[in-house]
Structure 1
Amino acid sequence: MIHMHRRLISFLLTAKRSTYASQGDDATVPPQLQGSKQLEYRDGAYFYRDIYFGMERFTGMETVYHLDQPVWAMSYGGGVLNISDREQIRSIYAFLREALRLGSEEAPYRGPDIWKNGSLIYLNQWEGTLDRFHGYEEIRLKDTKVYELRYQGGFI
């Protein structure tokens, strides 16, 4: 079981870094659900699928399959707050993808507990383990919260 946990964590981090965290919406494949965006990654017996709706405000779910059976999932929802400028929204999401590439084996759900670049700061708090967890992340521009997201999940 410990080996499977380690393999799942390694796969999950690679899948996340290979899809949205690196490519954003450019990583999408034809979606199964109308109006959604869908990202996928496969490595051997493991398959990752992330389906989400929306852009500025969004909701979605990541699922990991092993031998075509769902074994782990995480639901999430959030988005930018009180911002309508498209360029500012793009820069916030680019910064978010930067933070998401820094996820760790200890907490492979989203990004690190803290990440800074210029005047942006990413904060992430979580409780639990891969089996069952929940968390909250936000991005601040100086002292103003400009993005937030809540997530939860675990083994199925």
Structure 2
Amino acid sequence: MESFIIEAKAVTYVSSKVPAPMATRIGATDIPYEKGRFRYLDSYYGGTDFLGQEVVWDDTTPVWAMNYYGRILDAERFDGGRAGTVIKQALTALYQEKRFLGGFTYLHPLGEYVDQSVGDYRSFLGVERIRMGERVVYQLDYQGGLIKP
């Protein structure tokens, strides 16, 4: 399942996949992906400051999920467009390592991306940040893991 999660993450938001025309919840943006018996959905609200959830189903049973809240911390020096550029490039590099958790740093001309987490895909907690010099200009907190009946 972990390899499916990484694949789904890599081909949805990070690759700029076009969102579904009809969201599952009013006001949300949904980006789905399916392969074999697994289905994935990244569903979020907002733009510069945003909240979302990713879920994986095995057929019709939800088996994994994570939630996240991200925000711009210094709107005078940084914006959502810059954050998206840095995040997409950093996560593309991370997913190429066949993982989505663990310590990771990516240097980009717009800022330094740093991800820190504990746990593995079964149960995890983490934070991603973008720094400009010593100043944190963006932060996203996330958590998730397996869903059991």
TM-score interval for Structure 1 and Structure 2 normalised by the shorter chain: 0.7 to 0.9
The answer on 1:74 being equivalent to 2:85 is no
- The code of the aligned residue for 1:16 comes to K
- Greater shift, 137-146 or 66-75, is seen at 137-146
Root-mean-square deviation over aligned CA pairs: 1.9
After the TM superposition, which segments of 4 or more aligned residues of structure 1 sit over 3 Å from their partners? none
Cross-structure match for 1:22: 15
* SS of alignment partner, residue 22 of structure 1: coil
Structure 1 gaps of 5+ residues are 1-7
Aligned length: 144
Partner of 1:150: 141
Corresponding position: 1:92 with 2:86: no
TM-score (norm 2): 0.88
Counterparts of 1:67-146 in structure 2, within 5 Å, are 67-83=59-75, 88-101=79-92, 102-103=94-95, 104-105=97-98, 107-109=99-101, 113-146=104-137
User: Percent identity over the alignment?
Assistant: 32
Instruction: Give the TM-score normalised by the residue count of structure 1.
Output: 0.84
Q: How many angstroms does 1:124 deviate by?
A: 0.7
Q: Distance in 1 between matches of 2:80 and 2:67?
A: 22
Aligned to 1:35: 27
Q: Match for residue 57 of structure 2? A: 65
**Structure 1 residue 79: deviation in Å?**
1.6
- The structure-2 alpha-carbon separation of the partners of 1:91 and 1:119, relative to structure 1 and needing over 3 Å to count, comes to closer
C-alpha distance in 2, partners of 1:67/1:128? 26
